[in-house]
Amino acid sequence: MFNRNLEAAINDQIKHELYSAYLYLSMSAWAESNNMPGAAKWLGKQAAEEQEHAMKFYGYVHDRGGKVVLQAIPQPPAEWTSLLDVFEQVKEHEAKVTGLINRLYEIAVKENDYAGQVMLQWFISEQVEEEKNAATIVDALRHVGTQGAALFMVDRWLGER
């Protein structure tokens, strides 16, 4: 039987994953509006990936015989001061998501939900990659600054995703 504490926490995580998608879509729209098509593409792909994560949790709840209860998703911000500002917030957001995933894992351990622990291992590994990618982009943007030709080279690099 699916543990109700973990079920409730995963339902909450579905909201967080969908908010992540919404946030990255908003960032993508900002990048597009600011003539950063590479960053817009990168962020759009990130938004789609976050939706996939939400659906993994959604499917897992149903696979375990639980009930998905969708929650309201807050409106994300729509303005940033620079591409560096965007990706610093991406980095910060991914660290927050890592904490949320770790909390889910703690619940699975406490409740002796071994299937939940196995499923969450994928997300733990994914978050290591997400934080590394965000940190790499932030470092690159800090090196090139917020204006100039090098910024457009980073934008092009982001578009290769």
Give one DSSP letter per residue of 10-46, joined into a string.
HHHHHHHHHHHHHHHHHHHHHHHHTT-HHHHHHHHHH
Question: Mean pLDDT across the chain, nearest whole number?
Answer: 97
Which residues span the domain enclosing 42?
4-159
- Average pLDDT (64-77) is 97
Q: Is the pLDDT of residue 135 over 90?
A: yes
CA-wise closest residue to 127 among 158, 93, 154: 93
Number of folded domains in the chain? 1
Q: Is the pLDDT of residue 90 over 90?
A: yes
More confident residue, 124 or 146: 124
Buried/exposed code over 62-77 (b: 16+ C-beta within 10 A; e: otherwise): eebebeeeeeebeebe
Q: Is the pLDDT of residue 73 over 90?
A: yes
CATH number at residue 34: 1.20.1260.10
- Write the CA distances from 138 to 9, 44, 127, integer angstroms: 31, 17, 16
CA-wise closest residue to 156 among 54, 29, 37: 37
Neighbours of 110 (CB within 10 A): 11
Give residue-wise pLDDT tens across range 136-161: 999 999 999 888 889 999 999 999 98
Phi-psi group of 76: left, alpha or beta (phi > 0 → left; psi -120 to 50 → alpha; rest → beta): beta
**Would you say 111 and 6 are in contact if contact means Cβ atoms under 8 Å apart?**
yes
Name, in order, each residue with C-beta under 8 angstroms of 129's C-beta and a sequence gap of 6 or more: none
104/36 Cα distance (integer angstroms):
36
